[in-house]
Structure formats: structure tokens, C-alpha cells
Amino acid sequence: MLFFIVLWYNFYKRRVSMNKKKYYAMNKPYYTRKRWNLLFKLVALIARLFFVKKHELRFQEEIDFSTPSIYIGNHATTATPSAIHLYFPGKKRPWVVGDMCSLKTIPKYAKEEFWTNYKPKWLFQKVLPVLVAPIGYMIMRGAEAIPVYRDGRMIVTIKKTVQSLEDGVNVYIFPEYDQPYSEYHNDFEDGFVNVASVYYRKTKKKLKFYPLYNCFDKRIMSFGVPIEFNPDNSLEEERKRITTYLKENVTKLAREIGPHKVISYRYKGNKR
């Protein structure tokens, strides 16, 4: 009798678990209840009112934002991520370096990436990184960031990206790295194209990549014509073809805006 009671309980528990609604979670498989993130929404409201004014959206063709796609653009430090989160028309999630998605690793990342040469060192290397960690974590969780890893955990990045696309959520990525490309942005890494291959194998849908350029100086967010993943080509060919098209067209979008102050990948500004 006890055996059947235990068997029934385990069956019931698993069924309830399967029927629970699942919500996106940054550092675990999913949440079983919705996180409201009221503090994050307050920060976003303050940013919208005082720091990141409304942007003009420009389109080279009509975009259906309800069809999940990937948007590739210039990073421009925090300018483009902030503008996209506040004014992008559809559902979206950003790729964010994994070290900015954990309370344990934010302090080390912050002092190495943001305040290496600032003085006094006791403030910028010891105090501020610890103080900003909870705020940074709250922002990343509120934005539903997708952690990006460069080791074996990259499978987590791919899985969460594909999950987001299947849920009808657009993904925006800033693939710049420390190699100059044009006067408006750095060169692009090409690893993000791998998502399209996994997404196609799972859904048989061909993913589109849109070039995007954000001009914080003139408050313009410009969207270009997309390029579609071709599963008939090798992945190596597609990585080169898609990345080349995107960086060329992001530069083209920037030039079409006219002279403006460029916010670089590494916190530097120049008049172009």
C-alpha cells in the first residue's frame, strides 16, 4: 500500500511541475513565478526621463517585430543597450558578458573593465565594484540578459538564445571586439551566427539578422535590411557571409545619418 502511495505522489508532483508556467531566468533553467523587478522599472523610468531621451526610429523596410530575429549593432558603451531597451518596439533580450550576470563576478569585471586607471585606487578598485554589483545584477536580471560565455558554457548561451527566439522574443547582440573596422565601430566577431544553425535544426526556420546603428548624439536608431541564414551553406561560409554583410551595413547606416559624435566601443568620443 505504501508503495502505491509513494508512486502516486511522485507522479502527481512531476505532473504539477510540468504544468507550471515557466518564466525566463538569467542564471537558472527557468522561474516558476513571474519576477516583477519593480526597482529595475524605476531605474528604467529615471533613465528615460533624464538620461536617454526618446530616439527617432528609422527603417529601410517595414519590420514585423513579432517575428523573432537577431539585431546586430554598435555597442557604444552603455548608450546603445540603454536606448534599445527603452525604445525598441518589440520584445527583446540582450547578450551580456557572463561576468556581468553574476553577483560573484561583477566586482572583478567592473574594476578590470571600467576603472583600471582611476584614482584613488582604494575607491575604484575596492569600494565601488562591490557597491555597484547588486545594482548591476538587478539591471541585468530586469533586462532578462542572456549570459555570454567563451568557454564550455557557451552551450548555455546558445540554448537560452534559441529558447528566447522560440518564445517570440527578439535578441540584440553587440559583437564588436578590440579591432578597428570603420570610423563608426570596431570589427565584429562571428560566433553569434552559430545560433542560426541550432535554431534551424530545431525549428526548420531560417533566422534573420538585422543591421542596427544607434546614434546617441542625434538620438537616432536606424534599422537596415536583414540577411537570412542559408542552411544549404556550410556554417563557416555563413559566419563569414553574414558577419561581413552586417558590419558593412552597420557602417552604411552610420554614414547615412551624417556627421555626428561617435561613442566608441571603449568609452571614447570623436567627431566624424
Torsion angle (degrees, nearest 10) of CA 47, 263, 95, 198: 140
Q: What is the pLDDT of residue 118?
A: 81
- Separation between Cα atoms, residue 99 and residue 94, nearest integer Å: 14
Please calculate the CA angle 143-149-155 and round it to the nearest 5 degrees.
100
Q: Is the separation of the CB atoms in 39 and 137 below 8 Å? A: no
Mean pLDDT to the nearest integer, 74-88: 90
Q: Is the pLDDT of residue 214 over 60?
A: yes
Say which amino acid occupies 241.
R
Q: Is the pLDDT of residue 8 over 60?
A: no
Mean pLDDT to the nearest integer, 98-107: 94
SS3 state of residue 165: helix
Conformation bin of residue 198: beta by default, left when phi > 0, alpha when psi is -120 to 50: alpha
Q: What share of the chain has pLDDT > 70, as a percent?
A: 90
Higher pLDDT, 117 or 222: 222
Locus of grid cell 536580471? 141
Higher pLDDT, 174 or 271: 174
pLDDT band at 35 (very low <50, low <70, confident <90, very high): confident
Q: Is the previous residue joined to 259 through a cis bond, with omega within 30 degrees of 0?
A: no
Q: Are strands 176-180 and 70-73 parallel, antiparallel or unpaired?
A: unpaired
Q: What is the pLDDT of residue 122?
A: 85
Q: What is the pLDDT of residue 270?
A: 37
pLDDT band at 155 (very low <50, low <70, confident <90, very high): very high
The overall average pLDDT reported for the chain is: 89
Q: C-alpha cell of 89?
A: 518596439
pLDDT band at 269 (very low <50, low <70, confident <90, very high): very low
- Taking residue 227's Cβ as centre, other Cβ atoms within 10 Å add up to 20
Nearest to 64 by CA among 89, 93, 95: 89
Q: What is the pLDDT of residue 1?
A: 56
Nearest to 223 by CA among 55, 73, 90: 73
Q: C-alpha cell of 52?
A: 536617454
Q: What is the pLDDT of residue 250?
A: 98
Q: Is the pLDDT of residue 4 over 60?
A: no
pLDDT band at 272 (very low <50, low <70, confident <90, very high): very low
Q: What is the largest CA-CA distance in the chain?
A: 80
- Separation between Cα atoms, residue 67 and residue 17, nearest integer Å: 29
pLDDT band at 37 (very low <50, low <70, confident <90, very high): confident
Worst-scoring range by mean pLDDT, 19-28, 56-65, 205-214, 233-242? Answer: 19-28
| Residue positions counted in the chain | 272
Mean pLDDT to the nearest integer, 152-160: 94
DSSP string computed for 91-107:
-EEEEEEGGGS-TTTHH
